[in-house]
Structure 1
Amino acid sequence: MRFSSLLGPCLSLIGVAASGPRVNQDSLSAVPAYRPRGNQDSLALQRQSQWFNGSHPLREDPAELRKRDGTKYVFMHHIVGNTYSYTQATWTDDIQQIAAKGIDAIALNVGGDSWQVTQIGYAYAAAQALGSSTKLFISFDFTTDLGCTLSDIISRAGQFSSHPWQFKVNGKPMISSFSGDCLGNSGWQTMKTQLNAYLMPFIFGLEGKFNTYPSLDSWYCFGCAWPQGDYDKNTDDDNYYISQLGTKYATTISPWFFTHLSDKNRILRSDDWLINNRWDQLMTLRDTLTFVEMVTWNDYGESSYFGPVRVDQPAGTTWADGYPHTIWFDMSAYYIQAFKTGVYPAITQDVIYYWARPHPHDAIVSNDGAQPDNWDWTQDYLWAAAFCSSTCTVTLTVGSSTSTFTNQPAGVNKLQLPLAAGKISVSMVKNGKTVISKTETGYTYVLQPTLYNFNAFVGAASATGSPTTVTTATTTATTTATTATSTPTSTSVAGTTWNYLGCYPDSSSARTLSNGISTSTSTNGVSTCLTTCKNAGYVYAGVEYGVECWCASKMAAVTAAAAGDCNMACSGGTGNCGGGNRINIYFAATGLATTTTTTTTSTATPTSTSVGGVAWKYLGCYADSTTARTLNNGIHTSTSTNGLSACLTTCKNAGYVYSGVEYGVECWCASTMTSGVSIEAAGDCNMACSGGTGLCGGGNRINIYFASAGLSTTTATTATSTTTSSAAASTPSWSYLGCYVDSANPRILNNGLSYSSPTKNSVSSCLASCAAAGYLYGGTEYGQECWCASAISSGASTAASGCNMACSGGGGDICGGANRISLYKASSVAVALALTWTSLGCYQDYSPRTLNNGISFSSTKQTITGCQNACGDAGYYYAGVEYAQECWCSSAITSGVSQAASTDCNMACTGASAQICGGGNRINIYKATVTTARRSHLYPQIGN
């Protein structure tokens, strides 16, 4: 089940009603008892009235806490519960952005959903593929549906603790948490011992009794990022915890807090430059602190996000839409460097950062619930931080409110201005010359809002002619390196000469280049954009906001803006790519054949094509809607690498004769086309494919193709294709039965075997496992699960669109969905082989895994025989049991691994106390030899 409403950790006050008296700085409440997050009113981390006396209960041990060189570390807290739609490419983009600012590691806040394990796998794989300097570690969120079974928690942590991109302290994998008192000190100690881990959890309620948790290496204060009442954030809470923990204390920083849900409707005071002042406070505590965690990257529900606003917002969090916070992260690069080095860097770039709420704090909205609790703890000001490389004069304006701050010194100057109805304008003058002048077109302060929104809009303006950094509000990769700005010039790309026309205004409501295509990438540059537009046949090209590329056949009649307005570095790292609502425009003067400027060019029109021996005929651009899909009886995907060839291949492999690309990222497959849909103008399908080549439909517009030759299909009246997909090319052949509803009790395939593979599941591997085990039915579910059985026990077919999750192993396969299984039937039942298993001994098991090319699972009823049978039935001749509950299957032992002492494998199997199932990073391995043929037995369900 997808938990789309999962929110990040929430901090609130206790016992304070919105209408009651304000809480002053000294009237802080006690920490409440733990309650599940769903109905949680408070997770406050206020100081206790009674300070703990005596020595530090965790005992300072800097050698255990820090590297010998005294290195400081900055982490980013990432809510995995808000990544349901992520692919590995999305993780790559996140990690690139985070690493570019000097973040050392990402804390992956993980709940209990199985799909989150898949996402964690994507994250580690992305970091490794990048060779990123930023590492990862798990932070278990015990206020979700994670549960608190120690063996399960250890198993989850152990799955990635040996990964090359695991963050470690003195060689020990870091493990963190939000809450976790349910494990008790003994549970944490067991985890520490078995995984040789370094523990840095946040467990609330330990004030004054940290000595009852000697297992902890460190403890971080999640809620210390915000003030706990109507006052500015200070270091009182930090000093209180330092008095008990010494150098084992870690803390947090956050830019903002606001949420407006039915069960959580409050603000925490974020005024008076909270983020700047908090960084300065951390600098004063630097001699004591080693770890600082930024919270968070993507907690949109509580407005405490530094990252781009992506599609996986919790339901109802409209206050994040149009309110980018990435510029706060850009500004933080200065402070991150300062904290890590101990010295504030010299400011070489003149920038004005600014932020504000969109309406008065006391405004009343009639149809949007109650005012947020603590609404009167905030002030109606524009907050600004002017980074000046030398003496500067700054003017701030909002509507009719304006103020000039003369002769501000070199450094960071914190400024404020009362808000008034209208737009924000900022300027900077140095030596009589205006170096910054910008009006923020993306924001307007209104007096009568229609919705409550106490979130902050964050913007920035950089000086013309000074070095710049990438500052984005979308999914760009950022860089801390500065690049000198330069005026764009005409250029030649692949035989086409492009003349630079100038810097022009642009807005979402009135696009300057509006009748073509657009892309947004982390590798954007002038040359790549011009190439995109050339290949699509457009004569106008424009780069904007660092990451955006726009192509069109005509240009709106607009007046050029100041050249200095287009001053944002391209996300690809070279040159300038427009600015906020400013676009650098080029015109193809020679070398590009075009049609008239009133229509899109003919070269942008899709054509028929051949993919994998199948001829696909282009049928046209059709209308499509969420209520009446044009291709509605098959499968669909949504990816950041979508393209025509990839989509056609997906549909071909699944046996569908109709294929369609839509909205840049979507691929749709079906065996029939819905009758009565209308064909639309070819120009309506004008969005570039997210994979970077060609056109992939548009908004509610789909480019449709038909497999006219080369694909064996059923009749058009069949609800689903029954052809053998490319994934089921093994013997026996498999027929696709359709998408079926599957529930936990009973399972539709419940009398055979099953396994979960978070990173390697595919239709072909699953069906091969079922065939090898002699089962007649096979099914893939939830992206990563494989199920085999000799008969269908229950279940009803459902809409094909319910099976819409990509297989964890990639390759374009679809592997069911949430409580939906893609079901296949074999043409015959294979005869299985009887196997004899021989013990090979106890082996070390780290990364890479000793048995690393097959499947694995964990069970509270693990036995040696059960693991051997599971591996044999899946076609693997090496089986290994580890850590009491794990089973690993493979076709070979990884070369170079070392055998361990037999006594190292000393943990009793969870399903048979008299048997030994490996140990911590130790695996008992068995090898099978074929003896006689046998009929496959009915094997009980694996796992829990």
Structure 2
Amino acid sequence: MKLLLTALTAVSLAFLPVQAAKEVFAHLIVGNVPEFTLSDWEDDIRLAQASKIDGFVLNIAAQDPSNAASLDLAFHAANNLKFTLFFSFDYLAQGAWPPDRVIALLQKHAPNPSYFKPDGTRPFVSTFEGPASAADWPAIKAATNAFFIPDWSSIPARDAVSRAGGVADGLFSFGAWPDGARNMTTDGDKAFQAALAPQKKAYMMPVAPWFFTNLPGFGGKNWLWRGDELWDLRWRQVAEVQPDFVEILTWNDYGESHYVGPVREKELGLFSSAGAPVNYARGMSHDGWRRFLPFYIGVYKTGAVPERVGEEGVMAYYRTAPAPACPGGGTTGNNGDFGQAEVKPEELVEDSVFYAALLDTDKGVTVTVSIGGKALPGGFNRVPAAGAGTPGVYTGSVPFGGHTGDVVVTVSRDGKMIATAEGGKGISAKCENNVQNWNAVAV
């Protein structure tokens, strides 16, 4: 028996004026990969494919000299591996894009078989911000036949829908993080859908696992948003909202700590160029956040939970130092520039090991969290939507409790081990350069 999650799928598809829908993409910062070889691109694509990600969203800044070579390699690799790519033109990092250059890049790369065309014809195009340049897009669309889903999150969704005569074919929201210590809700997503529904335009929903940045050279960027429980909760919300598309934020934005791709030393140059007090991504794997993506994406696309989850497993994430262990580095919780009340970062995140287990059932299941060899009993505080005893993801957490050392999370059923999550950087009361690293490890 299938456990149906929602009847909204058909409604969502009815709003989408294209044939294809319910694709999942990961946002990739092209400016972080100028040293990538073809092999590097292919390695990342294979990892994404193993996670059932449909494609990469290529974020490109207007003045980045590495764009041309990187894009050629990206499309070469994607064509080889039958993977999907599309552009997100960044209007903030290095200024607005001249429309003739947008047109030229689309005319060059959109004919690739790997360029995403949701109806088989129109190339999908997005942005990072840029509502002030909305008037450029009627001409760009006329020249390229683009299917245009911008991120204009800096203005209300109802205004973005009507900007430049309603030039957008849908909208993408960058609102993937909660305000303050509360958990994320779907209020923002529903506001976007409500604004788009009268014109039957598409919505692309954001999903992110974490956020922390401390890059003084990039305009003094230095704040934290709550990431505790965010990843699993957000995928549950995707299943509820049933957007037309999903964009994971991000594959490789190490500077904002929300990467789900591998950490490669050749991609970490921004920590030096931006004067970061500590390289808070080095040694901080987020691979664990990819662990259940095939399950989450499958539930989103089918609208149902399977009777059996396949391979049962566990993942865990945690910060690597207790909040009081080191100076906070001037980091704020929240960002006043977004109209948020700034608080101490330790008010937003807990000194806890968080874990998620993908199980056919929780009957007979126990969880043990070991920190430095000290075994601490765990449990589940969130169960699948259909209730305890049903297949899906079960989550919980255990406080550090003053313990330091390596972290191992073990899930067993009736005394027999199902899986462990381990191998990440351990918890320590000592901090590099005497500054707190508010990033997390995910194993």
Q: Normalization by structure 2: what TM-score?
A: 0.82
1:414 & 1:150 partners in 2: Cα distance?
47
3-state SS, counterpart of residue 158 of structure 2: coil
Counterpart of 2:290 in structure 1 is 329
3-state SS, counterpart of residue 98 of structure 1: helix
Cα separation, partners in 2 of 1:61 and 1:193, compared to 1, 3 Å: farther
Describe the superposition over 1:748-788 as per-residue Cα deviations: whole angstroms up to 9, x where unpaired.
Answer: xxxxxxxxxxxxxxxxxxxxxxxxxxxxxxxxxxxxxxxxx
Counterpart of 1:405 in structure 2 is 379
The 5-angstrom pairing of residues 642-681 of structure 1 reads none
- Match status 1:99 vs 2:49: yes
Decide which of 302, 309, 317 is 1:341's aligned counterpart. 302
In structure 2, stretches of 5+ residues that fail to align are 1-11, 334-343
Cα separation, partners in 2 of 1:341 and 1:104, compared to 1, 3 Å: same
1:264 & 1:333 partners in 2: Cα distance?
33
2:177 & 2:227 partners in 1: Cα distance?
7
1:350 & 1:333 partners in 2: Cα distance?
12
Code of the aligned partner of 2:35: S
1:141 & 1:164 partners in 2: Cα distance?
23
2:15 & 2:408 partners in 1: Cα distance?
51
Cα separation, partners in 2 of 1:137 and 1:364, compared to 1, 3 Å: same
Code of the aligned partner of 2:26: M
1:81 touches 1:116 (CA, 8 Å); kept in 2?
yes
Decide which of 207, 227, 241 is 2:192's aligned counterpart. 241
> How far off is 1:192 after superposition?
0.7
How many correspondences in the alignment? 388
The 5-angstrom pairing of residues 764-913 of structure 1 reads none
> How far off is 1:230 after superposition?
2.3
Counterpart of 2:67 in structure 1 is 116
- Match status 1:266 vs 2:243: no
- Match status 1:456 vs 2:408: no
Describe the superposition over 1:220-251 as per-residue Cα deviations: whole angstroms up to 9, x where unpaired.
Answer: 001x2111222110001111121111252221
- Match status 1:161 vs 2:123: no
Decide which of 360, 363, 366 is 1:389's aligned counterpart. 360
2:310 & 2:53 partners in 1: Cα distance?
21
Code of the aligned partner of 1:454: W
Instruction: Compare the two structures and name the one with the higher helix fraction.
Output: 2
1:364 touches 1:371 (CA, 8 Å); kept in 2?
no
Counterpart of 2:130 in structure 1 is 180
2:259 & 2:419 partners in 1: Cα distance?
27
Counterpart of 1:516 in structure 2 is none
Q: Quick one: percent identity of the two aligned structures?
A: 29
3-state SS, counterpart of residue 150 of structure 2: strand
1:238 & 1:441 partners in 2: Cα distance?
36
Counterpart of 1:426 in structure 2 is 409
Counterpart of 2:94 in structure 1 is 145
Counterpart of 1:129 in structure 2 is 80
Counterpart of 2:233 in structure 1 is 277
2:196 & 2:156 partners in 1: Cα distance?
11
1:260 touches 1:372 (CA, 8 Å); kept in 2?
no
> How far off is 1:62 after superposition?
4.4
> How far off is 1:415 after superposition?
1.1
2:185 & 2:13 partners in 1: Cα distance?
27
2:13 & 2:379 partners in 1: Cα distance?
48
3-state SS, counterpart of residue 292 of structure 2: helix
2:259 & 2:205 partners in 1: Cα distance?
17
2:332 & 2:326 partners in 1: Cα distance?
11
1:66 touches 1:290 (CA, 8 Å); kept in 2?
no
Counterpart of 2:317 in structure 1 is 355
Describe the superposition over 1:712-748 as per-residue Cα deviations: whole angstroms up to 9, x where unpaired.
Answer: xxxxxxxxxxxxxxxxxxxxxxxxxxxxxxxxxxxxx
Code of the aligned partner of 1:190: A
The 5-angstrom pairing of residues 625-704 of structure 1 reads none
Counterpart of 2:172 in structure 1 is 220
The 5-angstrom pairing of residues 215-614 of structure 1 reads 215-222=167-174, 224-246=175-197, 247-262=201-216, 263-271=220-228, 273-286=229-242, 289-310=243-264, 311-313=266-268, 314-315=270-271, 316=276, 318-345=279-306, 346-365=308-327, 369-373=329-333, 374-375=344-345, 376-390=347-361, 391=363, 392-399=365-372, 400=374, 402-405=376-379, 409=389, 410-419=391-400, 420-422=402-404, 423-436=406-419, 440=422, 442-449=424-431, 450-459=434-443
1:298 touches 1:304 (CA, 8 Å); kept in 2?
yes
2:32 & 2:320 partners in 1: Cα distance?
25
1:253 touches 1:293 (CA, 8 Å); kept in 2?
yes
1:175 touches 1:199 (CA, 8 Å); kept in 2?
yes
3-state SS, counterpart of residue 193 of structure 2: helix
Code of the aligned partner of 1:344: V
> How far off is 1:219 after superposition?
0.7
Describe the superposition over 1:149-181 as per-residue Cα deviations: whole angstroms up to 9, x where unpaired.
Answer: 221222122221222211002210011110122
Counterpart of 2:9 in structure 1 is none
1:201 & 1:404 partners in 2: Cα distance?
43
Counterpart of 1:543 in structure 2 is none
> How far off is 1:352 after superposition?
1.7
> How far off is 1:113 after superposition?
1.6
Code of the aligned partner of 2:287: T
Counterpart of 2:37 in structure 1 is 87
1:356 touches 1:456 (CA, 8 Å); kept in 2?
yes
3-state SS, counterpart of residue 225 of structure 1: coil
3-state SS, counterpart of residue 379 of structure 2: strand
Counterpart of 2:8 in structure 1 is none
Describe the superposition over 1:456-487 as per-residue Cα deviations: whole angstroms up to 9, x where unpaired.
Answer: 1111xxxxxxxxxxxxxxxxxxxxxxxxxxxx
> How far off is 1:65 after superposition?
3.1
3-state SS, counterpart of residue 168 of structure 1: coil
1:435 & 1:178 partners in 2: Cα distance?
42
Cα separation, partners in 2 of 1:274 and 1:437, compared to 1, 3 Å: closer
> How far off is 1:327 after superposition?
1.8
Cα separation, partners in 2 of 1:348 and 1:207, compared to 1, 3 Å: closer
1:102 & 1:227 partners in 2: Cα distance?
26
1:307 touches 1:325 (CA, 8 Å); kept in 2?
yes
2:309 touches 2:392 (CA, 8 Å); kept in 1?
yes
1:401 touches 1:418 (CA, 8 Å); kept in 2?
no
3-state SS, counterpart of residue 283 of structure 2: coil
> How far off is 1:264 after superposition?
1.1
Q: Normalization by structure 1: what TM-score?
A: 0.39
1:309 touches 1:324 (CA, 8 Å); kept in 2?
yes
Code of the aligned partner of 1:258: F
Code of the aligned partner of 2:407: I
Describe the superposition over 1:596-616 as per-residue Cα deviations: whole angstroms up to 9, x where unpaired.
Answer: xxxxxxxxxxxxxxxxxxxxx
Code of the aligned partner of 1:242: Q
3-state SS, counterpart of residue 114 of structure 2: coil
1:425 touches 1:437 (CA, 8 Å); kept in 2?
yes
Describe the superposition over 1:473-514 as per-residue Cα deviations: whole angstroms up to 9, x where unpaired.
Answer: xxxxxxxxxxxxxxxxxxxxxxxxxxxxxxxxxxxxxxxxxx
1:421 touches 1:447 (CA, 8 Å); kept in 2?
no
2:28 touches 2:58 (CA, 8 Å); kept in 1?
yes
Code of the aligned partner of 2:379: F
